[in-house]
Amino acid sequence: MTVNSISSQYFPNEPKEPVIKSTTQSKSKSEIQELAKSFDARSAYFVADYTKSIGNYIADVDGNLLLDVYAQIASIPLGYNNSALIETAKSDKMIRAIVDRPALGNYPGNDLNEICKEILKVAPKHQDKVWSGLSGADANELAFKATFFWYQAQKRGYKTQFTPEEIETVMHNQAPGAPELAILSFERAFHGRLFASGSTTCSKPIHKLDLPAFKWPKAEFPSYKYPLEDNVENNKKEDERCLKIVEDLFNTWSVPIAGVLVEPIQSEGGDNHASAEFFQGLRNITLKHGALLIMDEVQTGVGSTGIMWAHERFNLQPPPDLVTFSKKFQSAGYFFHDPEIIPNFAYRQFNTWCGDPARMILAGSIGHEILKHNLVERANEVGNYLYGKLEALQKKYPSYLRDLRGKDRATFIAWSLDNAETRNKFLNDMKTIGGVNIGGCAEDSVRLRPTLVFEEKHADILVDAIEKVLSSY
């Protein structure tokens, strides 16, 4: 713990350790059964009490207080009941945004320019424009639309009017008005559960079964061997193999590929990493074929990996064309810089609200707090501290803590267990034995997604809990 603890400033009454009062969670189970009468509650782990949750701890209705390193599926940036964000929520500007929610496209408020500028203070380098959405999946779908509009406008001329044939055929969902185009994504990727985003998602079948799908190509994302420093040549060949697959798909796919969608780190699919060389290779291929590069930073963005936006670590030349965001930003949308990514005519990228100014205000406040307290650098310090402790545990429990990954990526850390059954038991035991709420990814992996105010004192509790659980196996 640092002398000038940010978590202590925000949360002077944060608990010193987890509290486990009930391992059966009987009240939670009862409330889930009652909830199920009006809401599909089958995926609920437990019922939380958010009035009693504080800082890095989440409370449940059974009186348990768990150290939360999953943070609402990676989406809580500054801890529960953060005092600075509560003040933002009480502001007159927020009240107006909630009570009189404007249809931003037609009736933007006189504060919208200021709200956008606050968000852009923490935008990725070189990105000076933003379009707002409602969720991570929505952000990606909006980015697809922008990509297809751009791609077609490049062919016909940016300001050229649509032909009569295009106008007629689009009303029947036929070409040329509804052109045959594709977005290339990757196996093991997760980009959302809507229709187009579902077509680019490829992590678990349950995410997309029974949904009609676009017939879009899937390339292979690198599968590295760990530790990285001992497998440099092997992993370099893996990059080359996967880039060749991308190039071949561009050359052979049945319809033009207008854009490539990729996560800087595949998160839901297993925390799969790739090198700067791989991503620059992707950038080069998109430039060669006249396609756009879309970076999905929904889970990796807003300081999660020890840099504000994970792709910035690759120093891509030129930078990505679009960067989608959500999760820890508490808002959603995409950043971009090319004016021609703005659709060539009004009412193309449009809906009633065009995003949510209340969430945009909150995003600006989150960015302000991150810069004010230098929380990205703190996440790096804490991550390095935690990773070192996990490396030591890996040597002690090599069967249960395999392929540790996320070194130098702050607390964006994951590892694999020996199989899915053990992983699921581990997640449950971490709650009931260790007092820690923790998440999984892929079939057999565990991922850490704590807040940006997670500190060394919390890391110590986490590591002690992991050892306590593993020592019982």
Residues of the chain with pLDDT below 70 are 1-4
Tell me if residue 271 is catalytic: no
Helix (H) or strand (E) holding 361: helix 357-372
The residue assigned the tokens 């889930």 is: 32
DSSP 69-123: SSHHHHT-SS-BT-HHHHHHHTSHHHHHHHHT---TTTS--TTHHHHHHHHHTTS
Architecture of the CATH domain 102-355: 3-Layer(aba) Sandwich (3.40)
Q: Where are the beta strands (DSSP E) in 6-92?
A: 57-59, 65-68
Distance in angstroms (rounded) separating the CA atoms of residues 358 and 56: 24
Of residues 190, 250, 279, 325, which has the active-site annotation?
A: 190
Closest-CA residue to 267 (of 73, 422, 46, 95): 73
pLDDT tens column, 90-145 = 999 999 999 999 999 999 999 999 999 999 999 999 999 999 999 999 999 999 99
Tell me if residue 286 is catalytic: no
3-state class of 230 per DSSP? helix
Helices 375-396 and 357-372: crossing angle, nearest 10°? 80
Tell me if residue 210 is catalytic: no
pLDDT tens column, 40-54 = 999 999 999 999 999
Q: How far is CA 108 from CA 97, 102, 104, 116, 331, in A?
A: 11, 7, 4, 12, 17
DSSP state of 399: T
Q: Residue 66 pairs with which residues in a beta bridge?
A: 58
188: alpha, beta or left? (left if phi > 0; alpha if psi -120 to 50): left
3-state class of 186 per DSSP? strand
CB 364 within 8 A of CB 94: no
Does the domain made of 6-81+378-470 have the CATH classification 2.40.40.20?
no
Q: How far is CA 98 from CA 82, 93, 102, 359, in A?
A: 19, 9, 9, 9
Of residues 125, 350, 352, 372, which has the active-site annotation?
A: 352
| 212 preceded by a cis bond (ω within 30 of 0) | no
Residues of the chain with CATH 3.40.640.10: 102-355
The per-residue pLDDT for 267 is: 97
Distance in angstroms (rounded) separating the CA atoms of residues 189 and 184: 11
Sheet holding 65-68, edge to edge: 57-59, 65-68, 436-437
* 3: Cβ contacts below 8 Å, ≥ 6 apart: none
The per-residue pLDDT for 115 is: 98
* 72: Cβ contacts below 8 Å, ≥ 6 apart: none
Residues shown for the chain: 473
Distance in angstroms (rounded) separating the CA atoms of residues 433 and 458: 16
Residues of the chain with CATH 3.90.1150.10: 6-81+378-470
CB 201 within 8 A of CB 192: yes
Tell me if residue 149 is catalytic: no
The per-residue pLDDT for 4 is: 66
Distance in angstroms (rounded) separating the CA atoms of residues 34 and 165: 55
Distance in angstroms (rounded) separating the CA atoms of residues 360 and 109: 13
Helix (H) or strand (E) holding 370: helix 357-372
3-state class of 339 per DSSP? helix
CB 118 within 8 A of CB 225: no
The per-residue pLDDT for 432 is: 97
Of residues 138, 296, 356, 444, which has the active-site annotation?
A: 296
Distance between the two ends of the chain, CA-based, in angstroms? 30
Query: What's the half-sphere exposure (Cβ side, CA atoms, 13 Å) at 429?
Result: 16
Q: How far is C-alpha 271 from the geometric centre of its chain's CA atoms?
A: 11
3-state class of 227 per DSSP? coil
Question: Which amino acid is located at 261 in the chain?
Answer: L
| Tokens standing for residue 255 | 């319809």
Distance in angstroms (rounded) separating the CA atoms of residues 442 and 422: 13
Q: How far is C-alpha 166 from the geometric centre of its chain's CA atoms?
A: 36
Of residues 208, 327, 328, 431, which has the active-site annotation?
A: 327
